[in-house]
Chain A
Amino acid sequence: EDQVTQSPEALRLQEGESSSLNCSYTVSGLRGLFWYRQDPGKGPEFLFTLYSAGEEKEKERLKATLTKKESFLHITAPKPEDSATYLCAVQNSGYSTLTFGKGTMLLVSP
């Protein structure tokens, strides 16, 4: 059974204080690892897809990396508008469904 564990559960940062979110996974054949951002009461917003170990993707202040066992979402000099829950999900090579972690709730204070 595919499993995704995200840490920490919650993270509070000051504006400009860089940090990283962790996503550990076990999957029988990784087809892809996905990062989403979710604002309260809304649907997840797609950020990145990573397919193989060593791959990196960047978007504004966010950078996602992937190893064989985990992925990191690095946030550089965050702003209050980066406050949201960040979800990690894996896709099994045999299926197209996503298995999600519980998410990391990020709060960036001005």
Chain B
Amino acid sequence: DAGVTQSPTHLIKTRGQQVTLRCSPISGHKSVSWYQQVLGQGPQFIFQYYEKEERGRGNFPDRFSARQFPNYSSELNVNALLLGDSALYLCASSQTGDPQYFGPGTRLTVT
């Protein structure tokens, strides 16, 4: 079975621009979570969606938003990019909340 997929793999953006990251969960998984991982740190929780509803939000500014579609795929949007937004963005899916299975991530570089 296919695992969690994310696109794009890599992305380079300029400060002030907007970016959209995409995630497809494992088939049958209805929950999707987004995490940000900066170099040398563990992943930090951004959002969780279940059945298209937001179930949790981490300590991130309103520039970050997300949504989940009827097919359970998800998008993460970041507006007004800052240099500090450069990170590996991880998507994880789960069936009942645990364990969460992660995708390969999207490497975002903001210049």
Contact = CB atoms under 8 A, between A and B. Distances in A.
Task: Bin chain A's interface residue count.
Answer: 20 to 34
A49 B43 contact: no
B99 A44 contact: no
Interface in B38-53: 40-45, 48, 50
Task: Bin chain B's interface residue count.
Answer: 20 to 34
A41 B106 CA distance: 9
Interface string B51-75: 0000110100000000000000000
Contacts of A91: 97-98
Contacts of A101: 42
A99 interface: yes
B99 A49 contact: yes
Interface of B: 4, 31, 33, 35, 40-45, 48, 50, 55-56, 58, 88, 90, 92, 94, 97-105, 107
